[in-house]
Amino acid sequence: MSSATGTVRLHRVLRAPANRVYKAFVDGDAMARWLPPHGFIGQVHEIDARVGGGYRMSFTNFGTGSAHSFSAKYVELVPNERIVHTDRFDAPGLPGEMNVTITFKPVLCGTELNIVQEGIPAAIPTEMCYLGWQESLGQLANLVEPSIPDGE
């Protein structure tokens, strides 16, 4: 791997069962809700949650209307345990392929989540990736932590 690319590592403990957290990573409607950082609207254009499948998604800046899109391909899917996918930005100015590994581990109070994103294009400062992920993971917690019973 080139030294010109960046890597971010994230760790969170969520007060939610692993199956609920995993579902948030493979459900297009859920991803559109939690994955875009603050100030962006997410849209999942297509998703095929199986090995060899993938998804295409865009983030639109709510203030300016400008958008960027990216595609992911699933390399490994182990329900409630592990997801590995490769990502590629559609913009020619952001070349290369990123590898993302997400692991879900049941713990006493919920799920331990570890994310490693490697191969981030040199044009994107890793601290901006951390900032975006922090916002996204906060929104993920807001989505998966409430346990809301169905009404009758």
What pTM was computed for the model? Answer: 0.92
Find all residues with CB under 8 Å of 106, minimum gap 6, and list them: 17, 18, 112
> Residue 14 belongs to what domain range?
6-144
What's the number of domains the chain is made of?
A: 1
Is 152 within the bounds of a domain? no
Is 151 within the bounds of a domain? no
pLDDT, averaged in runs of 10, over the chain (152 residues): 75 98 98 95 97 97 95 98 95 86 98 96 89 95 93 71
Is 25 within the bounds of a domain? yes
pLDDT of residue 57: 97
pLDDT of residue 3: 45
Is 16 within the bounds of a domain? yes
Q: At what angle do helices 18-26 and 126-144 cross, to 10 degrees?
A: 120
Share of the chain above pLDDT 70, in %: 97
Is 30 within the bounds of a domain? yes
Task: Identify the helix (H) or strand (E) that includes residue 117.
Answer: strand 110-120
Is 60 within the bounds of a domain? yes
Geometric angle at alpha carbon 49, from 45 and 50, rounded to 5°: 140
Q: Residue 64 sits in a domain of what CATH number?
A: 3.30.530.20
